[in-house]
Amino acid sequence: MTFLSSDPDQDVTQKPSGNRHLWLVSLSYPTLPLLALGIALATGTQAWVWLTTALVYGLVPLIDELIGEDRNDVLGLMETEAEQSTFYRYMVHGLLPLIYLTWLIGAWAAVSFDWAWWAYAGLAVSHGLGLAFAINAGHETGHKTDKVSKWVALLMLAPSFLGHFRVEHNTGHHSDVATPRDHATARFGESYWHFLTREVPGAWERSWRIESKRASRKGYAKWSLKNEVIQTVLLQLVIWGTIVAVLGLGVLPYLLVAAVISTSVLSAQNYITHYGLLRDKRPDGKYLPARPGHSWNSNSLVTNITTYNLARHSDHHAHPSRHYQYLRSFSDAPQLPYGYGTMFLIAYVPPLFRRVMDPRVMANVDGDMSRVLTKELALSEGARR
């Protein structure tokens, strides 16, 4: 496996790769709810709509742990031209029609069958997990600067009503990560459930603040259509409103539950990838730039092949614009003990999560609590601002 030092600017020699077709595995993930729905309709057994949930939280984490890390660098450093290759870009862009097809068929199913309430719940939850992958795809395309990628990202995020994420994540989270200013960095000892209640409204607040400042700087009103938060809210209202107009109010619970589930998965990813990590300060009191050591990394093969290398999070934060197929592993970046699926399950049980992660946080800083992002530090710095 190719491990590098923690210098994110280290130059590395590229090697040829014939493995790019493996990324096509990711195309199956967001369409799992269609498979589950199809089996349920074919067999007449409503319970099959829960198949996606069983796979995401059962079989996939198990396979991830059995296969383990990408020890042979299967997904590692791709060919030199990888960053410019249209294959990598348009494979992600090409997910857009698949995501909408899956989501809309789910919406149709939600109002078309006389199913038990638990079957409706399973349908919405499963499609919410599919939309979590749409958020991940929107995250990848949203980091690109061309207009096509921007609008692909906003359309990817629209089913989850998360269009504001592009601004909030790129300009806010990447700037503030591993500091008390960042609501998307979990404090040491904070449970996932508390983090969720702080992170979700914090994302809306920060996105509005960022766009309001941009409006002031560029000389237009913050309520202008040039405000990306306004743009995305209107886009989402049009898309959701059209679905409700066509299918009726009965589809609204499906839309809401799916959006809540996908948003909760995004929060779980944020929670596990920065838990307790804190950047050092410069002599003038400002925080040093984010480095690979400010994100929890994972080189699990299944996790990375189904998330566009998102779990190589250390390099992503050191180089936010780096294409997913080009992300690297760093030997001295803090490492998660398991892949994302297993870590999500652990995060949902706060005592278990703390038992697993708190010793790793302390080992990462050699037991020095002054180098850990705690709730007390966040409160203290908040009072000084």
Instruction: Write down the residue that tokens 């197929």 correspond to.
Output: 325
Q: What was the pLDDT predicted at 178?
A: 95
Segment 180-199, tens digit of pLDDT: 999 999 999 999 999 999 99
SS3 99: helix
pLDDT at 9 over 90: no
**Which residues is 329 bridged to in the sheet?**
3
Q: Give the closest residue to 264 by CA, choosing from 135, 116, 109, 123.
A: 135
- Residue 181: which region, alpha, beta or left (left: phi > 0; alpha: psi -120 to 50)? alpha
Q: Using CB atoms within 10 A of its CB, is residue 351 exposed (0-12), middle (13-18) or buried (19+)?
A: exposed
Q: Give the closest residue to 368 by CA, choosing from 223, 169, 188.
A: 188
Q: What per-residue string of b and e applies to 19-34 under the rule 16 or more CB within 10 Å gives b? A: bbeebeebeebbbbbb
Segment 111-159, tens digit of pLDDT: 999 999 999 999 999 999 999 999 999 999 999 888 999 999 999 999 9
Does the reported pTM lie above 0.75? yes
Least confident of 6-10, 43-47, 299-303, 305-309: 6-10
- Report residue 4: phi and psi, to 5°: -115, 170
Distance of CA 318 to the CA centre of its chain: 17
pLDDT at 208 over 90: yes
Segment 10-63, tens digit of pLDDT: 544 444 445 667 777 778 888 899 999 999 999 999 999 999 999 999 999 999
Rounded Cα distance between 364 and 333, Å, is: 9
Q: What was the pLDDT predicted at 322?
A: 81
SS3 88: helix
Rounded Cα distance between 254 and 120, Å, is: 8
Pairing of strands 329-330, 3-4: parallel
Look up residue 295 and give its two tokens. 């994100």
Q: What was the pLDDT predicted at 19?
A: 65
Q: For residues 115 and 46, is the Cβ–Cβ distance under 8 A?
A: yes
Q: Using CB atoms within 10 A of its CB, is residue 212 exposed (0-12), middle (13-18) or buried (19+)?
A: middle
The single-letter DSSP state of residue 204 is H
Rounded Cα distance between 163 and 292, Å, is: 27
Segment 219-278, tens digit of pLDDT: 999 999 999 999 999 999 999 999 999 999 999 999 999 999 999 999 999 999 999 999
**Taking residues 340-364, what's their average pLDDT?**
97
Q: How far is CA 183 from CA 73, 100, 202, 261, 283, in A?
A: 33, 30, 6, 19, 24
Q: What is the DSSP string of 167-193?
A: HIIIIIIHHHTTSTT-TTSPPBT--HH
Look up residue 126 and give its two tokens. 């499963």
Segment 72-95, tens digit of pLDDT: 666 655 544 454 567 777 788 889
**What's the mean per-residue pLDDT of the chain?**
89
Torsion angle defined by CA atoms of residues 308, 348, 297 and 21, in that order, rounded to the nearest 10 degrees = -20
* Percentage of residues of the chain with pLDDT beyond 70: 90
Q: What was the pLDDT predicted at 47?
A: 97
